[in-house]
Each structure stands twice: as structure tokens, then as C-alpha cells.
Structure 1
């Protein structure tokens, strides 16, 4: 078993980020959004993988039956709300940042939500491979819902800023 703590991951990630972004300060506003997106990504990595424990055993668990984990709403509502809300809230910033920073590529609901779906599947797959956590289809569904919600929030924000710019 190999265990990697978050600070062990965080320090090299920050050094590489600073090195990569060192000459990219063309637009201060955009750089602020890009750096906020990076910090958001570090937060998602922290919540979904750390402490990262890679198990050598072949025992893995994956739930491919939808709504199984959501049954906790009946038995432990506080835990269920935290799980449901946490998964949705964790991916809402992704749905906001992708159209904001991704240019024309992520200006559609389908592409942004699809990216949320693919990222969520990737996270669950890595959780399955490492054996550190249980891979769950409910998480994929809730994360995708969060990305869709984030895209909707982006549209509201975009409409509001556009309306304010048109005022004299």
C-alpha cells in the first residue's frame, strides 16, 4: 500500500503551475479566473483523492446501479444531503468555468455538461483503480447535474453582465 498525502501533491503542483503560467499575464481579469479555476481543480483533487492510498490488492468495489447510494435519504438524511449536495456543488464551478475560460469550445450546454460527465467518469475510474474509494454511478449522475447547474449559473451571470454593459 502506498499513501500520498495532499501536501506532498500540492507543493509540486503549485511549483509546476507557477512555472507554466509565468509568462501568460496578458489580461489580468482572465488570469484571475484561470487561477481560480486552478485552485478549484486542486480542491476537487483534494476532495476526491486525498489522502491517496493505492492498494495492491485486487479487491475493488464499483456500484453501477443508479440511485443505490441515494437510498440513504430514507435512513440517514443528513449524510445523504451532504453527499448529494456535495457532489452537485463540487461540479457546479466546472460548469461555470468551462464556458467562461474555454472559449467557443464550451459555449453549449451539451459540451459543458458532457465534459462534466467525462471528468466525473474519469475520477470514478481512478478511484476504482486505486482502490482507495468506491466508484459509484450516483456520483457520476450528481456531478454531471452539478456541471449542468454551473452552466446555467454561467448563463445567468453572462446575461447579467451583458445587461449591465448595455446600460448608459
Structure 2
């Protein structure tokens, strides 16, 4: 149940920010694909040189921390099948799903950097899971 609550919370914070009911969803299928940032670290480097470094830390470390619970909970819930590779792959697919929904619902910026940082968070969570499990 905790894992389900976490998934719903992440989706509400990242994708369904202004939506309370499914009929309020407004898909924008005519949005140009050029709105997706597929250049790795392009926007992140812009934030490094921005006047305020707070945006850089929020974007990079916030995305990592947001997916640490995924890396911890996924192997607990799917204990028989959750290898390191499956956990990382599912974390990455969940992140790609969020970015796709953000693009279609126009609720955020779709960025390859977010997928990278989210996947790093899933990896970190899995490492924490393994360390705690061995202790």
C-alpha cells in the first residue's frame, strides 16, 4: 500500500497537478515534438550558470530524491522478480511515462535530463535497499 501511495503521490505532484477528476484531463496531441528536450544535460548546464543555483539543485537533486523510494519499494513489492536491472529499467520506464504524460497534458517540461536523474534516484534507492537488507 505504501508503494501504491508513493506512485500516486509522484503522479499527482509531477503530472496531474491541476486535475482532481479524470474528466478534467485535457490531452494536447497537436503539441510539436520539438517541445521535448532530447539534448542530454542542455537545460541542466543552463541552470548551473544561472544567477541562482537553487534551481539547479532543485532540478537535479529533487529528481534524484523523488525516485529513491521507487528503488527501495520496487524490490520489496516484487521481491521474487526485482533484480537490479529490472528495478532500474522499471524506474526509467516510470520516468519516461511521467515525461510523456507531462508532454501530452502540458503540465510540465519533458526533458531527457529528468529521466536520467530519476533513473539515478532509482539506482540509489536500490543500493540503499541492498545495504539495509544485508544489515
Give the aligned partner of residue 68 of structure 1: 42
What is the root-mean-square deviation of aligned Cα atoms in Å?
Answer: 1.6
CA distance, structure 2, for counterparts of residue 57 and residue 39 of structure 1 = 29
Structure richer in helix, relative to its length:
1
The alignment's TM-score, normalised by the length of structure 2, stands at 0.85
* 5+ long unaligned stretches in structure 1: 1-34, 161-168
Count of matched residue pairs: 125
CA distance, structure 2, for counterparts of residue 126 and residue 134 of structure 1 = 10
SS in 1 for 2:107: coil
* 5+ long unaligned stretches in structure 2: 20-24
Greater RCO between the two (CA within 8 Å, min separation 6)?
2
The alignment's TM-score, normalised by the length of structure 1, stands at 0.69
Is 1:119 paired with 2:91?
no
Structure richer in strand, relative to its length:
1
- What is the aligned counterpart of 1:82 among 58, 64, 72? 58
Q: Quick check: which has more Rg, 1 or 2? A: 1
Give the aligned partner of residue 16 of structure 1: none
